[in-house]
Amino acid sequence: MLSKRNKEAFFNPLSKDNPVLVQILGICSTLAVTAKLEPAIVMGISVIAVLAISNVVISLLRKTIPTTIRIIVQLVVVAALVIIVQQILRAYAYDVSLQLSVFIGLIITNCILMGRLEAFALSNKPWPAFLDGIGNGLGYMIILVIVAFFRELLGSGTLFGFPVIPNWCYDHGYMNNGLMILPPMALITVGCIIWVHRSRNKDLQEK
Amino acid sequence: MNKNSNLYQIIYAAVMVLIVGTVLAFIYMALKPKQDDNVANDKRKQILSAVHITPKSDNAIESTFNKYVVAGYLLDKNGEIVDSAQNVAFNVDMKNNIKAQERKLPVFKCKLDDESTKYIVPAYGAGLWGPIWGYIAVDDNGTNIYGAYFSHEGETPGLGAEIANPKFQNQFKGKKLYKDGEFKPISVLKNGKSAENGEDHVDAVTGGTITSTGVSNMLKDCLTPYKPFFDKLQSGTIK
């Protein structure tokens, strides 16, 4: 069940092989959905679900898929799953689906999905593919949450929509940094996280 | 069978698309009623927000709505009630209505706990990235704004999206639609600017200029057709 290889498939994407920090995949959505914590978390969960299930489906089909149309097959599977997630959210978590509106649909274009399907699911059995999907999804979600934490705190002075910066700070001239809410600061925040991450993992540094 | 033969690929693709299509169609059909309920309930919640009422739970939305919103009308362009059948105002889809040659003018009549009567009119317009809409509640004297609710499809979070924030919406309370007997819809202006025509105004959202202008235009566009109705309310011909 949890051989060394399977453990690696699950744990590596959390840090050493993180999809955002090391593989530099899925940056666009990281910039788009991290202005507030709540949508970031729902987005993370949705990506985990879509990635894990599509990894398993592609892994099950891997021996039958004609190589020439494999990308199309992957796209169809991912697109179908994304639509299902969107429909379910709209039926059972309507408020959240309103907040995420277009971003859920954009999971289809998330490079992490195609990347993992191509690199892992097509050549591995369903169980390791499932672990790889969960692991990469979690790795993505962790970064989303860290970035969203700083952006919401510094940009809006709230966490999960609750004000956390005390009023006397504002009275003494503190102001929320509107720039944090815009995508450029998300990119810079991600850059800072990558910097910290590399300085702690010497083997990731390029010579 | 040769996996790379043309026939195999075509059959593979066709079968896959058929299966996926069937599954999606099935899921869509199965979840549709639930989604429609959600959309209707969300609309009820928004209308109630304009009169500062929040249903206690998601299950109580419909009953709360039916308790406070006592009637819905459609008006003609002279402000006369032409249709007061149940749900006739609620079922107006503003998205299509706004483009129509002769707009339907829905009004919701609310009776609050303190026995006062408010009239709620819907608004629909364009923001920066997509549509914005709202509901404006007016006192039964036809000029005082009692409350306003705005929402949007995809304005920038933290900037234009702040129009959905109560802080922005509460500014509208107590503003007047009439100045010296003349009808002047409220405008949304940058801090420090004064209104061109002397109408009442509220402060725009910092960093959300285009969305704020959108709200301003929407109010002008959607409230003006109701002028005859507000006139009637002022003169007391509608009870």
Neighbouring-strand partners of residue B105: B75
Q: What is the predicted pLDDT for the residue at A140?
A: 92
Distances (CA, A) of B120 to A206, B73, B105, B127: 63, 10, 11, 21
| Contact status of B38 with chain A (Cβ, < 8 Å) | yes
Helix (H) or strand (E) holding B110: strand B105-111
DSSP string covering B27-78, please?
HHHHHHHHHHHHHHHHHHHHHHHHTT---SSGGGHHHHHHHHEEEEEEE-TT
Does residue B231 contact residue B179 with C-beta atoms inside 8 Å? no
Are A80 and B23 within 8 A, CB to CB? yes
pLDDT at A4 over 70: yes
Are B20 and A76 within 8 A, CB to CB? yes
Q: Which two tokens stand for residue B186?
A: 């409220």
Q: What is the predicted pLDDT for the residue at A138?
A: 93
Please say whether the dihedral angle defined by the alpha carbons of residues A72, A74, A80 and A83, taken in this order, is positive or negative.
negative
Which of B13, B16, B34 minimises the CB distance to A91?
A: B34
Q: How confident is the model at residue A1 (pLDDT cuts 50, 70, 90)?
A: low
Does residue A38 contact residue A99 with C-beta atoms inside 8 Å? yes
Site of tokens 């483009």:
B99
Site of tokens 């819905």:
B72
Cα–Cα distance measured from residue B23 to residue B44, given in angstroms and rounded to the nearest whole number: 32
Instruction: Tell me if residue A20 falls in helix, strand or coil.
Output: coil
Q: Which two tokens stand for residue B126?
A: 């364009």
How far is the alpha carbon of B86 from chain A, nearest alpha carbon, in Å? 26
Report the pLDDT averaged over residues A171-198: 88
Instruction: Tell me if residue B134 falls in helix, strand or coil.
Output: strand
Complex ipTM tops 0.85:
no
pLDDT tens for chain B, residues 1 to 239: 677 788 999 999 999 999 999 999 999 999 999 999 988 998 999 999 999 888 888 788 888 888 898 888 888 888 888 887 778 888 888 888 888 878 888 999 998 888 889 999 999 999 898 899 999 999 988 888 999 999 988 788 778 888 988 889 999 998 888 888 888 888 888 877 777 777 888 888 888 889 999 999 999 999 998 988 988 888 877 65
Are B31 and A91 within 8 A, CB to CB? yes
Are B34 and A80 within 8 A, CB to CB? no
A5 CB-near residues (< 8 Å, 6+ apart): A128
CA angle A9, A14, A19 (to 5 degrees): 85
Cα–Cα distance measured from residue B163 to residue B202, given in angstroms and rounded to the nearest whole number: 12
Are B207 and A178 within 8 A, CB to CB? yes
How far is the alpha carbon of A178 from chain B, nearest alpha carbon, in Å? 8
Helix (H) or strand (E) holding A156: helix A126-156
Q: Which two tokens stand for residue A206?
A: 């390029």
